[in-house]
Structure 1
Amino acid sequence: MTSGADLLRVEGLRITFSVLGGDVNAVRGASFRILPGKVTALVGESGSGKSAISQAIMGILPTVAKVSGRVLFNDPKAAGPVELLALEPDGREIHEIRGARISKIFQEPMTSLSPLHTIGNQISEVLQIHTEADGAERRQRTEQLLGYVGFGDPKRAYDMYPFELSGGMRQRAMIAMALICRPALLIADEPTTALDVTVQAQILQLLRELQAKMNMAMLLITHDLGVVANMADEVVVIYHGEVVEAGPVDAIFRNPQHPYLKGLMAAVPHFDMKPGERLKALREVPVKAGTLIGGEAKRASGPDILVSVRNLSKTFTTRSSGWFGGDEESRHRAIDHVSFDIRRGECLGLVGESGCGKTTVSKILMRAVTPDSGSITFDEGEGPVDVLKLDGAELKALRSKIQMVFQDPVSSLSPRMTVKNILSEPLEIHGRGTPLSRVETVRSLLQAVGLDQRFINRYPHSFSGGQRQRIGIARALALLPQLLICDEPVSALDVSVQAQILNLLKDLQKELGLTMLFISHNLAVVDYMADRIAVMCAGRIVELAPREVLMRDPVHPYTKSLLAAVPYPDLDRKLDFDSLQRSGGSDQRQWGAQFSDGGEKDALSPAHLGGGHYVLARKSVDARELRS
């Protein structure tokens, strides 16, 4: 096919970054095409060169980059193909193309939007640069597009700042900014990675509708094969800077050829996995948990329930002070009468969208936040302990028994400490061992999580995201805790690295007899990890059941909407965008009378459906009616 039939054609693209210690070949002779009005997905792990290719197309590569090859842009509004790499980086020609004919949605909407300017100012600025429209027309067109991308009140949204919007609404504002000049090509760089599964489905639906209405081509950069299956017409698979497979989405998914693509597909957790089936990570991590002596013996005895949580509630109060001293208080109930048990040796999954209260629950368990009411009982076999009444030495002792793996492996590790310092710090704080024995424990921890002992004196910046998360897990295991709280431990990782970490946690749980609370918004991940799952919405647990029961027979409308919003890497099970819109997700008005609060006389309470399956419903409703 000649380049005249393609909107964009990349030929033999090579990108090399000059850094201390030599050159890094980020992209090695990549070639692919983007057809007019079609979605081309560029798939690969972090560091494979996806974003570097998009920066080369946009002409925004850093000055340390050396580029060769050709990028031909066949703009329908231009006389003929334009060689983008031949244009001056700051010249008039590339300025006329960038933002107007080729635009980009960046991965992180919070850092991509200026905090000092309103949403409307930032979107209308693109029109000011690329069109002759006056201020009134720019505002009118901006408000029209804000309504188009899903803002209920565009006039109000125009004057709002990014911090006033949720992650999903910020991403919608980024989409509006990218589309305001009706580009021929939209580059979407991981547009849904940081979003909840339900918000992700809304953004994917929005992008698909806008792409079809505007007959716009899209380069969708992602590592999520579920997103690719639902969005793409053509797929380009890139590995270490080389295109290893490319073709129509049907051929790629139904008959993958390259071992790397097959490996990526096997690394994705899905709901059809058999009991005991493992994810196939591209690079397996050897786990030697046996080096952590004493783990299994400590957990062999004790009562069935390790942690019992009853009626936890927490309200946060924020105060805004005006110019004239008028203080206004707003109250937000983060947790509302939450109750659950964590059984010894099990993994309890806690699922829900951002803002539902999952992390607040974990912080209360760790005693980092104090609840307004409720109780937490911890019983490791030496008698029940009231967690909320502990202080001093008793609280310090408890914290050695409950440890946490955090969401972001970058910000949760000090950049000024070596791996040895990071892993030995918990031992020093709790007075475990001698300086010499602590070093041996650190080496055992590195072995346990599959890291080379030679890394002991390295700093966190020299590790990949997956390796940093393994260091975080090793730190949490240093004191051989009874309970491990994992707060979104894989949401920031590629699918292949995610498989490594999930398998590692499963192996550690089995070998050390760990009890885990696994917090996530990804139901497919929780399905792989958990024995029982609690679903949380607006501060309340709306459904709790054994994993296989919840996945096979969900009862609560919110649980059903979460399951329906998970994109499968399967062409025969695409997202039903129409039913997603009707389901309402967390909109309680869509749930039906039996699941909505009826006030004091008919309040919501957990109804037992049998087999450990509970759903939050009105007291007056018979349990049998809830399944209908």
Structure 2
Amino acid sequence: MDILRVSDLRIGFTVHGLARDVVKGVGLRVPAGKTVALVGESGSGKSVISQAIMGLLPRAGSVTGGEILFRDPLAPDAVIDIAALPREGPGIRALRGGRIGMIFQEPMSSLSPVHTIGNQIEEALLLHRPMPKAQARELIEAMLKRVGFKNPHRASGLYPFELSGGLRQRAMLAMALICQPALLIADEPTTALDVTIQAQVLDLMRDLQTEMGMAILLITHDLGVVANMADEVVVIFHGEIMERGQVEDIFRRPRHPYLKALLKASPHFDMQEGERLVALREARARPPAAAKPAPAPAADAAPLLRVRNLHKTYVTGSRGFFGKGSLSVVKAVNDVGFDIRRGECLGLVGESGCGKTTVSKIVMRAVTADSGEVIFDDGHRRTDVLALEGEALRAFRPRVQMIFQDPVSSLSPRMTVKSILREPLVIHERGEAPGQAERVKALMQDVGLDTRFLNRYPHSFSGGQRQRIGIARALALDPDLIICDEPVSALDVSVQAQILNLLKDLQAERGLTFLFISHNLAVVNYMADRIAVMANGRIVELAPRHTLFTRPVHPYTKALLRSVPFADLDRKLDFKLAAPGGASDDSGWGSAFKHGADDRELTHLALGGGHYVLARPNADVKELVS
């Protein structure tokens, strides 16, 4: 039996009096107890279809044709056409949140910041199943326990900002499932999560699906998630279905060129040295071979950046009246050190909260370290970055630039692209106005954007185009080092390939040096020459890219690699083995990798070939490697 059947669905939007179809005759089905994945790029119509099913289309949008038939297993003879229901009538309200649940991509923006988790779940429950508050609280705490909260009573009294990203997503899942829906719509439920947390959330969804017998419509652009979760796959492009079928047929026998291109655009661990991602649309028309490669540095040259013994602690909590209160010290960065050679890309990976971004902010001088050393050596002069102050710091800032994770919030909505790209040149007094205008045009061409777009504002660009503007801004002052902080985590697979290829091309042409921060191991594998793995504020393993992925030694690195979903049906992810307590939980690590009361008991042991692992000094190196 099909829980949901969408036939010839057409959805149009009216903007400034002009009508435009964004979904053009889509048809799909979601059988009872099965998972159907809806796959496509941003702007393909995936989320609009989910909004239509939930009756949540914006005012400018409307269903202009077709049917959305919902068959409730509790009343199989009654079929409801959701498309024909009044927009805010009792019919759609009874279904939405009751028989059809939904979890959204960004739990922080879809949860109320001023209400506790328990209150928000209680509201969803009492709307559809009125009952005494005491009974509702029991059900809520039972559901919170089912979705993985260790202390459900305490969790129900917490606010969303007090939870990590993974726990917020679990709270969203509890809210969507509290009324035991027949259909769960999951719109990019794990995009912003680490691989280990993603594995836990996906495993939880599978367990609850089996337990409750519900159907899932999974909306995603991650083909690894699709291969591990879906029974059927529907591929959509520009509002039209390109291909649909069983997951076996889609991955083993793809037919449509668009689906084949999506599969080739995903970075994976089997890529050969020098192999390039096949982007659907390259960022620049000219081939990278047309550019002259930058000269390689001498083999004995000093590293461009030398970081030693970085420490940063934060004090959390509050001090109450008369000095009473609860204060706790968190070691965000704990004795971190590494080198970055000129022209190389060092990858920095780890779960959220491990200290990656704090390290990058210390190098950028956006955060002040408690202690440590950061030496910048351009071949002519050694600079102690942490000692710089005043005019000396201002003069140094152009040498290190940053590409941020979210291209929307990192670009001013009130400035044109021309103003955004010219601003660094004006601040650092690089040239006169005519020369700056020429430089801005050259930057646009470097990142593959039309110079006619210079007078537009950021909101008129796609996510990938906005990220290219961010890259152009980082290049404006010709930096020696660029820190990339999760630069593609918010982008689709196809746009991600475009941006990664662009960064590699620019690195080859200009001899750029990258510190590339990400939790996506496949992306780091494609970009980095060497990789540092960070856990609980410390670098636990450092190795050349190929060595780290083929011969990982530290249990934390192994847990991260076990949690990566492959877009390959022959290498299904074992969710139970991935990271049951989170990869950074050291209770499962061997004694060789655990410290006692003193952190200094651990040291970085050399395993050969530039491979280092954090372990006890007396640990047997041969035993660790084997």
Shift of 1:132: 3.2
- Equivalent-residue separation in structure 2 for 1:523 and 1:601 (angstroms): 27
Distance 1:521 1:73 in 2: 38
2:592 to 578, 591, 594: 594
SS at match of 2:608: coil
Contact 2:115 2:159 in 1 (8 A): yes
Equivalent residue, structure 1, for 2:150: 152
65, 70, 80: which one pairs with 2:67? 70
1:53 to 44, 49, 69: 49
Q: Give the match for residue 340 of structure 2.
A: 342
Shift of 1:592: 1.2
2:558 to 545, 551, 560: 560
Map 1:470-489; keep pairs closer than 5 Å: 470-489=468-487
Letter in 2 for 1:23: A
Report the counterpart of residue 385 of structure 1 in structure 2. 383
Do the aligned residues in 2 keep the contact of 1:102 with 1:184 (CA within 8 Å)? yes
**Distance in 2 separating the partners of 1:580 and 1:381:** 44
User: 1:302-341 alignment to 2 at 5 Å?
Assistant: 303-322=301-320, 326-341=324-339
**Is the alpha carbon distance of 1:112 and 1:139 closer, same or farther for their aligned partners in structure 2, counting shifts above 3 Å?**
same
Partner Cα distance (2:507, 2:116) in 1: 48
Whether contact under 8 Å (2:293, 2:508) holds in the other structure is no
- Deviation of 1:615 after TM superposition, in Å, equals 0.2
Name the structure 2 match of 1:239: 237
Give the secondary structure class of the aligned counterpart of 1:305: coil
* 1:501-549 alpha-carbon deviations (Å, 9 max, x no partner): 0000000000100111000001100000000000000100000000000
Distance 1:297 1:443, change over 3 A: farther
Asked if 1:14 is matched to 2:10, the reply is: yes
Q: Where do 5+ consecutive residues of structure 1 fail to align? A: none
Is the 2:45–2:238 Cα contact (8 Å) retained in structure 1?
yes
Amino acid at match of 1:563: L
Alignment of structure 1 residues 359-378 onto 2, 5 Å: 359-378=357-376
Secondary structure, in 3 states, of the residue corresponding to 2:228?
A: helix
Aligned to 1:31: 27
Matched, 1:175 2:173: yes
Aligned to 1:135: 133
Q: Which amino acid aligns with 1:25?
A: D
Return the TM-score normalized by structure 2. 0.96
Whole-angstrom CA distance in 2 between matches of 1:255 and 1:601: 52
Note closer, same or farther for the CA distance 1:203–1:570 as it changes in structure 2 (3 Å cut). Answer: same
Q: TM-score, normalised by structure 1?
A: 0.96
User: Contact (CA 8 Å) 1:15, 1:65: kept in 2 or not?
Assistant: yes
Partner of 1:530: 528
For residues 126-275 of structure 1, the aligned pairs below 5 Å read 126-275=124-273
1:417 maps to amino acid:
M
Secondary structure of the residue that 2:314 maps to in structure 1?
A: strand
In structure 2, the gaps of 5 or more residues are none
Deviation of the 1:389 alpha carbon: 1.0
> Contact 2:310/2:333 (CA < 8 Å) preserved in 1?
yes
Q: Secondary structure at the match of 2:29?
A: strand
- 1:430 counterpart residue number: 428
Task: Indicate the residue corresponding to 1:100 in structure 2.
Answer: 98
Residue deviations 1:38-88 (CA, integer Å, cap 9, x gap): 000000111111111011111111221121211111112223211111112
Percent identity, please: 64
Equivalent pairs counted in the alignment come to 623
Aligned mates of 2:166, 2:210 — CA distance in 1: 21
Native 8 Å contact 2:530 2:543 kept in 1: yes
Give the Cα separation in 1 of the matches to 2:58 and 2:580.
45
In 2, Cα distance between equivalents of 1:295 and 1:608: 33
SS at match of 1:90: coil
Structure 1 residues 253 and 297: CA distance shift in structure 2, 3 A: closer
User: Hey, what's the Cα distance between the residues in 2 that align with 1:324 and 1:130?
Assistant: 47
> For the structure 1 residues 91 and 560, does the alpha-carbon distance in structure 2 shift closer, same or farther, using more than 3 Å as the test?
same
Q: Residues 565 and 596 (structure 1 numbering): CA distance in 2 closer, same or farther, change over 3 Å?
A: same
Taking a change above 3 Å as real, the CA distance of residues 622 and 588 of structure 1, as seen in their structure-2 partners, is: same
Counterpart of 1:48, as a letter, is S
When residues 21 and 624 of structure 1 are mapped into structure 2, their CA distance, relative to the original with a 3 A threshold, is farther
Contact 2:559 2:579 survives alignment (8 Å): no
1:616, CA displacement in angstroms? 0.2
Q: Which shifted more, 73-82 or 200-209?
A: 73-82
Deviations 1:415-435 (A, max 9, x none): 111111111111111111110
Partner amino acid for 1:73?
F
8 Å contact kept, 1:287–1:504 = no
User: Is the partner of 1:518 in helix, strand or coil?
Assistant: strand
Aligned counterpart for 2:111 among listed residues 106, 110, 113: 113
Secondary structure of the equivalent of 2:304? strand
Contact 2:302 2:379 in 1 (8 A): no
1:290-324 deviation digits (Å, cap 9, x = unpaired): 9xx99947978993410100000001123525478
Measured after TM superposition, the shift of residue 135 of structure 1 is: 1.1
Code of the residue aligned with 2:70 in structure 1: it is F
The one-letter amino acid of 1:24's match is R
| Contact in 1 for aligned 2:122/2:140 (Cα 8 Å) | yes
8 Å contact 1:318–1:330 — kept in the other structure?
yes
Distance (Å, rounded) in 1 between the aligned partners of 2:92 and 2:331: 50
Deviation at residue 578 of structure 1 after TM alignment: 2.2
The Cα RMSD (Å) is 2.0
| Kept in 1: contact 2:563–2:578 (CA 8 A) | yes
User: Cα deviations across residues 588-618 of structure 1 (Å, max 9, x unaligned)?
Assistant: 1111100000344970010000000000001
* Worse-superposed segment, 50-59 or 129-138: 129-138
Q: Using a 3 Å threshold, how does the CA distance of structure 1 residues 294 and 50 change in structure 2: closer, same or farther? A: closer
Give the Cα separation in 2 of the matches to 1:132 and 1:200: 33
**SS, match of residue 129 in structure 1:** helix
Q: Aligned to 1:279, which of 259, 262, 277?
A: 277
Given candidates 85, 88, 92, the residue that maps to 1:87 is 85
SS in 2 for 1:469: helix
What is the letter of the counterpart of residue 512 of structure 1? R
Query: Contact 2:302–2:377 at 8 Å: present in 1 too?
Result: no
User: Equivalents in 1 of 2:313, 2:286: separation in Å?
Assistant: 43
Query: Any conservation in 2 of the 1:357–1:539 contact (CA below 8 Å)?
Result: yes
**In the alignment, residue 426 of structure 1 is paired with which amino acid?**
P
- Moved segments of 4+, more than 6 Å: 287-290, 297-302
Offset from partner CA, 1:228-247 (integer Å, 9 cap, x none): 00000000111000011111
Deviations 1:564-583 (A, max 9, x none): 11111111111111212457
Equivalent position amino acid for 1:187 in 2: I
